[in-house]
Amino acid sequence: MEKTEEEEESEEVVLRRLEESVNAHPDDPSLHFDLGVRLWENGGEESNNKEKAAEHFVISAKLSPQNGAAFRYLGQYYSGVSLDTQRGLKCYQRAVSLNPDDLQSGEALCDLLDRDGKESLEVAVCREASEKSPRAFWAFRRLGYLQAHQKKWPEAVQSLQHAIRGYPACPELWQALGLAYQRLGRFTAALKSFGRAIELDNTNVFAMIESGNIFLMLGSFKEGVERFKQALEISPESVSARYGLAFGLLGLAKAWINLGAFRWGASLLEEASEVAKASTHLAENMSCIWKLHGDIQLAYAKCFPWMEEGQGLEFDVETFNASILSWKKTCILAAISAKCSYQRALHLAPWEANIYTDIAITADLISSLTMSDGNDFNDWQLSEKMALGALLLEGDNYEFWVALGCLSDHNALKQHALIRGLQLDVSLAVGWAYLGKLYREEGENQLARKAFDCARSIDPSLSLPWAGMSADFNARDSSPDEAFESCLRAVQISPLAEFQIGLAKLALFSGHLSSSQVFGAIQQAVQHAPQYPESHNLYGLVCEARFDYQSAAAAYRLARCAICSFPDSVPKSHTRDISLNLARSLCKAGNAIDALQECEDLKKEGMLDVEGLQVYAFSLWKLDKRDLALSVLRNLAASVSAMEQTSVAAPVSFICRMLYFMSGLDSAISSILKMPKELFQNSGISFIVSAIHTLDTCNRLEPVVSSSRRFLTSYEEITEMHFLIALGKLVKHGTEFCLGFQSGVAHLRKALHMCPNSSLIRNLLGFLLLSSKEWNDTHIATRCCNVDCTDYQNKGGLKSASEILGAGAVACYAVGNSSPKFSFPSCTYQCLNGHGAIQQLQKYCNLLLFI
């Protein structure tokens, strides 16, 4: 700013006038002070002006020793111009003691003390000022910083909080407060303070990194990653931000992997690996970065999922093998890279015991992936040896003992290591769990059970004990349902392929195959264990249970490819089962030609069993090869007679049905009559025989039917049989043009009396009432069926409740409208019609739309 001449002149004038008045009143301190200030502020950089000003300040201070401002100027003069630090200090001290709120003197005083390294004096000055005046915010700020520097966190929090009242927009204060809170373990408060600091200064890298670290510590990886990315935008070379970012991405990936989102996890890990790699270039001698890179690569090697490239049926052995190999190669390469990174970390810091364990785990993973049986003379014990290395350095670390227990090949050593770990910490759930696994492998089921129970009661969020519990459900006398539940829990806690395959197997026993949890689990298992035929086969079974026969067939084909890759390790019977599964699902999918091909292949190898014969006969029939099909049926009948009573039901009913379909009613009946009576002692067959019986006007099967009906036991079976009988009555008591509705309705009314809540019977009754020509009972039809929200799934009956309800309403309307002279027709029986029925139907429509 340039001063105009006038101003300069007027300043001259003012100065002169002041000098005159000072001369006139040499005892007035304020005049001296004013003159001093004038000279000091306007005198420019010339030191003689400053000296003159200082003289006046001295006089003013002498005359009025309570004027802090004079001392402040003097302090500035001594410390800045004449470089007499001691005097400067004294003047500032005086100024501060006169006016503790004096920011400039206080800061200058502290700066001087700081320059001489007198930290304790500095603290004393600040403390004194802060005690004297609550408005001495500079003192609180300075004190807060000093206390933070001296790591007196609780005191620092107090001082900083007070200082923030004076300087609420100072980002450094918020940052220091955040740091103090963080060190005190008050993470939420720390996050808030750092957040405020970032708001005030959006280039505050320190606050970003520290708050990112807190987020990571609290497990909020997403927020942490965001903070680190923000920090990297400002300072792309920051190693700690990169480290944090890579760590956060690893945490995020692990969280996703734990939920089963392997591909997503893998892509996050790729990103994390790049970030970590880049930071090793910035700081290559930091062991922890290499360790982090190793962790990332190890996680990648474990989670990278196998992807089915050629979707569909055309998946031959070579492409399957190639895809398995490339998947494995990716995993092995990642594991080797992890091993190298861990070795670098170890080479830089060989005293870090945990890196030995990391190398041990990675070596174990590599040997399990490469299936090497340890042909190298010391390869077999590398993981064991490295695990021991960690223990040599830190023998009291129970986690290392557990690691040794898992990695060792010798059961005795395993047991010893696990027990040592438990001795060090008896509430080590992992230790108990692995001990249980070890005992189970050795056949000590009692001990295994105890160990698993221990582990589960200590930490119910551990998956292994749950899996262990489900694995020995036979020994525990628990139902397959319970086993399924505990295995499901294990799978939900950690999505391991072994658990998932086990879950699918248990689902097979307990009839949960079609549940979505099993479907999801087995899909993930296929991604992680594609080399096992078992996982594909189970996947196929699950698909079949969900009526997706195309996918099921594809899965069985993959299972066969997997068998071809390891022809020695899989018994012949498994191959047969899988081929049979394939034939069956092809058949169900409507692909009879391929199914026939499969059956013939099986036949060539002489592995066509009863089930295979059924599929064979069925596909032959589908392809219109009646004679062949009949001969197969004959073979089937021959083998049935050699079977045990319990498993005979399915083939016998199959034979009956096929006979009916192929050679008609009469020949089926005559064949049935020829068969031994014992074969019909089963509820399933009873239905088939009854159905054939209803169509037979001559009642030739009466004795067979009545004897077989004794085996109907459950409520559902009985209602279904009533349904069937009612239908039979319709047919048998009807004429050529009209079914016997009356007798059918009569039977159903009796049946409904026995089973009042069977919607199957109710619906049929309603349907029959509506169907009978007389139309007298339409109002009853609408009343006897009830619509509920589960009804849409009910595929059992002929018509659904809603259809009957609607038709009933229409019928009521039509009946009531028979005399057109009434403008407002209504049902003569005043029953549920019009509004009620329509409302119910609307409700039901809405429901269906949502579903």
Q: Could you list the residues that contact another protein (CB under 8 A)?
A: 284-285, 339-340, 343-344, 346-347, 350-351, 353, 356, 359, 363, 376, 378-379, 382, 385-386, 388-390, 392-396
Count the neighbouring beta carbons within 10 Å of the beta carbon of residue 4.
8
* Closest distance of CB 271 from another protein, Å: 24
* Closest distance of CB 603 from another protein, Å: 52
Nearer to another protein, 392 or 848 (CB): 392
How many angstroms separate the CA atoms of 244 and 241, rounded? Answer: 5
CA-to-CA separations, 357 to 391, 405, 435, 440, in angstroms, rounded: 9, 12, 19, 25
Nearer to another protein, 359 or 469 (CB): 359
* Closest distance of CB 370 from another protein, Å: 13
SS3 404: helix
Nearer to another protein, 377 or 824 (CB): 377
Nearer to another protein, 255 or 393 (CB): 393
Nearer to another protein, 363 or 469 (CB): 363
Nearer to another protein, 158 or 343 (CB): 343
Torsion angles phi and psi, residue 692, rounded to 5: -65, -40
Count the neighbouring beta carbons within 10 Å of the beta carbon of residue 317.
14
How many angstroms separate the CA atoms of 661 and 773, rounded? Answer: 32
Count the neighbouring beta carbons within 10 Å of the beta carbon of residue 424.
17
How many angstroms separate the CA atoms of 171 and 121, rounded? Answer: 26
Nearer to another protein, 199 or 379 (CB): 379
SS3 459: coil
Nearer to another protein, 86 or 285 (CB): 285
DSSP 8-state secondary structure symbol assigned to residue 711: G
Cα-Cα end-to-end distance for the chain: 77
Cα atoms found within 13 Å of the Cα of residue 85, Cβ hemisphere only: 8
Nearer to another protein, 393 or 810 (CB): 393
How many angstroms separate the CA atoms of 800 and 787, rounded? Answer: 9
Nearer to another protein, 406 or 769 (CB): 406
Nearer to another protein, 126 or 386 (CB): 386
Torsion angles phi and psi, residue 818, rounded to 5: -65, -30
DSSP 8-state secondary structure symbol assigned to residue 437: H
* Closest distance of CB 393 from another protein, Å: 5
Contact 745, 772 (CB under 8 A): yes
Tokens standing for residue 156: 């620092």
280-316: b (≥16 Cβ within 10 Å) or e: beeeeebbebbbbbbbbbbbbbbbbbbebeeeeeebe
758: left (phi > 0), else alpha (psi -120 to 50), else beta? beta
Tokens standing for residue 595: 């199914």
Contact 37, 28 (CB under 8 A): no
* Closest distance of CB 412 from another protein, Å: 19
Torsion angles phi and psi, residue 45, rounded to 5: -90, 0
Count the neighbouring beta carbons within 10 Å of the beta carbon of residue 821.
5
DSSP 8-state secondary structure symbol assigned to residue 219: T
Nearer to another protein, 45 or 373 (CB): 373
- Single out the residue of 194, 197, 342 nearest to residue 276, CA to CA: 342
Residues across the chain: 851
Q: Residue 696: in which H helix or E strand, if any? A: none
Nearer to another protein, 283 or 695 (CB): 283
Nearer to another protein, 365 or 558 (CB): 365
The vertex-277 CA angle with 271 and 280, nearest 5°, equals 145
* Closest distance of CB 350 from another protein, Å: 6
* Closest distance of CB 388 from another protein, Å: 5
Alpha helices in 45-184 (DSSP H): 47-63, 68-76, 85-98, 103-115, 119-132, 137-149, 153-166, 171-183
